[in-house]
Structure 1
Amino acid sequence: MVRVRFAPSPTGYLHIGGLRTALYNYLFARHTGGTFILRIEDTDRTRIVPDAVENLIRTLQKLDITFDEGPVIGGSYGPYIQSERLDLYRKEAQKLLEAGFAYRCFCTPETLAQMRAEQQNKGEFVKYDRRCLSLTPAEIQAKLAKGEPYVLRLKMPETRIFRFNDIIRGEVEMDSAQSDDQVIIKSDGYPTYHLASVVDDYYMNISYVIRGEEWLSSMPKHLWLYECFGWTPPQWVHLPLILNPDRTKLSKRMNDVAVEDYLEKGYLKEAIINFVALLGWHSADDREIFSLEELCQEFTLERVNKSGAIFDLNKLNWMNGWYLRNLPLDTIVERSKPYFEKEHLAIPDSDKLTKIVATARERCTLLSDLVQYSKMFLCPQPLSTESLDFLKKEDSRKVLSWFQSHLPSGGDIDAEQLNQLVQQGIMDLGFKGKAFYKPLYLALLHQDHGPELPAIFSILGLKEVHHRIQEVLEL
């Protein structure tokens, strides 16, 4: 049975890198009929951000990424928040201590800082020098009796090549000589990531660990913990880095943007999911447009690349524009309404709003762009001095007066009828191009460009068209 987990720390809001890890775990679980678990790793108490867990769950829900077990909904392997599992970690750490795989370290932060500085000055590899490993039982008891704070460290083998199979990278070898004697229980009694994640993955029966490439360097410690406990490790999957277009590591400016911020800016959830899915994975036929349901059907770990994935904002914008134009019109209309409210614009009646969005989405990228585009219809900007001067010219007034007298006073006018009227006006007045169209656009939209006239007339309606033309004629 496939069981995978997304295990973020509540030290900030959900970002692109974290979303990709969550998404790949989710897609793999859905593709294989497995179970997707959310686990909150909150053992670093100094870095916890208030509301981070709520933000994370809320953001995943907005993106339609659902988990089968986790906080709030529960499950058979809970609790799913690490700070509620402390007794388990301490029990397992005690086993390591009693078996000689871990030891107490009483070194103060000042002692450790001095040790590291000396190692750096000598050009040595910086790691704990095991000075507390040589303490006798009597010395340890004396320190404990005095209440000296301590941590538990994992005693790593000094000369050991760890080998494991990574589904993306194949066979991997790592030398334990580059691994420190990692702290596994801190002086506050909380475990570090390394102990807690291994213990939880075992007790939650996790079969595949799918996480970022940055955890590769920790593999010797994690494999050693599995060996010390006598447990069978899961399958390993380390996802490639996400890179800038110039192939440097993804800049903080890009990666530190919370996923919720993208949603608030007007990116569609379908586009975000589709875009993030392609940050490292590709289909057999190199398609680029996938619904979430299609991704669940197509996704396999074997098609995840080993090389870094490029975060190209231009591609995300292109993809969002595609979804803006191709999702059902009523869906886009409904999702646009909060953006009108945010701009304190009165939402027009359903028919008018639908017409505006239908026209605007062909020319916009984000949901928020729809609102800006609609302002020419709902609340046009005041005419500039230059525009006013142009409209006061005799030729401009001739065009507007002709339209005012030839347009029907009420009812509707369809595109074919309007085009015939425009051709008649060009013939009657002898104007064409800018001289004919610019006065109309300035009068109707207060700008000299916009959609085709039939779309403008359909959105405004004949009554409003007459009103706006008359306002200009009365200048």
Structure 2
Amino acid sequence: MAQYYTTMNLKSRFAPSPTGYLHLGNARTALFAWLAARAVAGRFVLRLEDTDQSRSPQIYEKALLEDLRWLGLNWDEGPDIGGPVGPYRQMERLDIYQKYYEALLETGQAYPCYCSAEDLAAERAVQRASGKSPRYGGRCRHLNEGQRSDLEARSIQPVLRYRVPDSGMLTVPDRVWGERSYALADLGDFVIRRSDGSPAFFFANALDDALMGVNLVLRGEDHLSNTPRQILILQALDLPVPEYAHLPLLLGSDGQPLSKRHGAASLRDLQFYGYLPEAVRNYLARLGHHYAETDLLDDQALAAGFSVEKISRAPGHFDVVQLQHWQRLALQALSDTQLWEWRDLQYALNDAQLWKRLLAANLSDIENGLREKILKAVSEDENLQIQFVAAVRANVLFPEDAVDWLIRCFADEAFAALEKEDTAIAALAETPAEFWPLAAMLLQQSAGDYRIWTKTLQQESGLKGKSLFMPLRAALTGRSHGPELAALLPLIGMERAQQRLHTAASVLSEARN
């Protein structure tokens, strides 16, 4: 099968079943199909395969569209915007399918099958016991009209099966895996219409691709065995056959199928955690596809660098550490103003439950308006917002991190309620008690000048390096690592800083309790 499209008419698609939230493996498939189209100014189609009505409530269709838009994908044709070859929901295309069922019946390439589920299970059991691969034996192939009428009189609703040739080979080219050959006798006659009248995947998926002009199908390698059956259908109906490119599986870092235990399984999970869509696009684009560039790429560069030939046959391994790397790059690409106006950060700033969790040891502070007090102070001073973001941005991966640092900088008495790291507690415990009043006095004398303060404190206390800076950071922030103290000190302010230095011993005591 030769490539028959040009870079001017490439048309790809993403055709999910809206039966749950969008899995990361499917999200990568959607991204690859979108990049393939955008790389050559082609068209990208979104189609919903919603024939499993019991598992396709409206909530999942709505979530699917929302999640794809959040990822940054747009489509040229789809269920929400229409297009020249719609409709784009399979349940709205049943009349179209019926026309082609009748065409196959008329030519004898399809036939009704009345076998029960029990009959088919028994047949498969016998085949397995004899070491054969399970396949339909074709018992209903040769029923005459009288036999069919008798079965229908018993109210048995048949499925419709495609009649696979008894012999021959079918060669299936694949842009990722190369050519594969299939013995037709091994395929068995497969179902193309269920007993309830709804189309089976093999049929509707292939027919929709052909009728919608899709000429490049990117999908998971779990569909490799479906492809020969779908090509047979299209050839029988004299419809164009697209090129196929089957993507390797997406696994967790442990080599097992991706699931919740790896930290995220769906695109909605990543949104919930606060990942930026730019980070997710850059990471997913590199899972099983090679880019020479190691920097964060915009959409134009991602598309320009995409090629089906760069897709690996090896499984992609989802690694949350690598995803966090791209999250950090995406955050650093934002200006200070953009970072402060980050939508997810704004949600977090207004999430009282998050503040309560961060201050779990002292919930009354929330009730007494701590959150409102801090946000009011910051919102009234744009310079303070930018100063805060500039100070903490290198230590923020998620909105929750920014809220935590906001509290650590601007909380007064509630500071004692914040979680203290074990290393910070140890640093406080190892510091002589006389160090704290000295540090507070010298801070006052230095008028808050960080360089003068720490230089004088080093001379007066005899402490230096880690022994000096670790306890100061622990007393002022409750953490052993974080943003530069020189940048945090103006945010914390003289009054709060002195209070924290004076009460370092009591903070230690409370933390131990």
TM-score by length of 2: 0.83
Letter in 2 for 1:124: K
| Higher mean C-alpha displacement, 379-388 vs 241-250 | 379-388
In the other structure, the counterpart of 1:114 is 122
User: Relative to 1, partners in 2 of residues 1:394 and 1:286: Cα closer, same or farther, differing over 3 Å?
Assistant: closer
Question: Once the two structures are superposed, what CA deviation does each residue of 1:394-438 show, in whole Å capped at 9, x if it has no partner?
Answer: 33222223323x143xxxx5xxx4202321333345454566546
1:359 equivalent to 2:398? Answer no
Q: Which amino acid aligns with 1:341?
A: N
Counterpart CA distance in 1 for 2:320 and 2:480 is: 31
Q: Does 1:395 align with 2:435?
A: yes
**CA distance in structure 2 between the aligned counterparts of 1:239 and 1:473, rounded to whole angstroms:** 59
2:306 to 294, 299, 309: 299
Q: Could you tell me how far apart the structure 1 residues matched to 2:504 and 2:324 are?
A: 38
Q: Is the 8 Å Cα contact of residues 36 and 69 (structure 1) preserved in structure 2?
A: yes
The alpha-carbon deviation at position 320 of structure 1 amounts to 1.4
Distance 1:67 1:261 in 2: 23
Per-residue deviation, 1:290: 1.8
The yes-or-no answer on 1:15 pairing with 2:55 is: no
Instruction: Spell out the pairing of 1:412-451 with structure 2 (5 A cutoff).
Output: 417-433=449-465, 436-437=468-469, 440-447=472-479, 450-451=482-483
One of 168, 185, 188 as aligned partner of 1:177: 185
Q: Distance in 2 between matches of 1:36 and 1:255?
A: 30
State how far apart, in whole Å, the 1-side matches of 2:99 and 2:250 are.
38
For residue 441 of structure 1, report the CA deviation from its aligned partner.
Answer: 3.6
* Contact 2:264 2:270 (8 Å CA) reproduced: no
- Conservation of the 8 A alpha-carbon contact between 1:396 and 1:439: no
Matches within 5 A, 1:247-396: 247-250=255-258, 253-254=261-262, 257-283=265-291, 285=292, 287=294, 289-335=296-342, 336-342=345-351, 343-344=354-355, 345-346=371-372, 347=375, 348-349=378-379, 350-379=382-411, 380-382=415-417, 393-396=433-436
For structure 2, the 5+ residue unaligned runs are 1-8, 356-370, 508-513
What is the Cα deviation at residue 468 of structure 1?
A: 4.3
- Check if 1:6 corresponds to 2:14: yes
**2:124 match: secondary structure:** helix
Aligned to 1:88: 96
Report the Cα distance in structure 2 between the residues aligned to 1:255 and 1:89, rounded to whole angstroms.
41
Bigger shift: 49-58 or 392-401?
392-401
In structure 2, distance between residues paired with 1:424 and 1:77? 76
Runs of 5+ unmatched residues, structure 1? none
Between the aligned partners of 1:117 and 1:94, the Cα distance in structure 2 is 33
Shift in CA distance, 203/395, structure 1 to aligned 2, threshold 3 Å:
closer
Distance 2:238 2:388 in 1: 65
Of 205, 210, 216, the match for 1:202: 210
Counterparts in 2 of 1:436 and 1:278: CA distance versus 1, 3 Å: closer
How far did residue 295 of structure 1 move?
Answer: 0.8
How far residue 186 of structure 1 moved from its aligned partner, in angstroms, is: 0.5
Q: Which range moves more in the overlay, 380-389 or 69-78?
A: 380-389
- Alignment partner of 1:226 is 2:230: no
One-letter amino acid of the structure 1 residue matched with residue 455 of structure 2: Q
Q: Give the drift of 1:65.
A: 0.5
Equivalent residues of 1:401, 1:473 under 8 A apart: no
Aligned-partner residue type, residue 396 of structure 1: W
Q: Distance in 1 between matches of 2:457 and 2:261?
A: 54
Separation of aligned partners in 2, 1:241 and 1:59:
21
Percent of pairs with identical residues: 32
Over 3 Å counting, the alpha-carbon distance change for 1:462 and 1:40 in structure 2 is same
The answer to whether the 8 A contact 1:268-1:320 is kept is: yes
Task: Report deviation, 1:288.
Answer: 5.2
Mapped to 2, the partners of 1:222 and 1:238 lie a distance apart of: 14
Query: Number of residues paired by the alignment?
Result: 466
Q: 2:197 aligns with which of 170, 177, 189?
A: 189
* Native 8 Å contact 2:395 2:483 kept in 1: no
Counterpart secondary structure, 1:70: coil
Residues 126 and 431 from structure 1, CA distance in 2 versus in 1: closer, same or farther, beyond 3 angstroms? closer
TM-score for the superposition, normalised by structure 1: 0.89
Whether contact under 8 Å (1:160, 1:176) holds in the other structure is yes
Q: Could you report, residue by residue, the CA deviation over 1:125-157 in whole angstroms, capped at 9, with x for unpaired residues? A: 211121111211111123224432110011111
Q: Secondary structure at the match of 1:104?
A: strand
Q: Deviations over 1:244-287 (max 9, x none)?
A: 4454544574497111111210211111100100112113x353
- Write the mapping of 1:125-204 to structure 2, written as runs, cut at 5 A: 125-204=133-212
Contact 1:245 1:310 in 2 (8 A): yes
For the structure 1 residues 251 and 446, does the alpha-carbon distance in structure 2 shift closer, same or farther, using more than 3 Å as the test? closer
SS of the residue 2:294 aligns to: coil
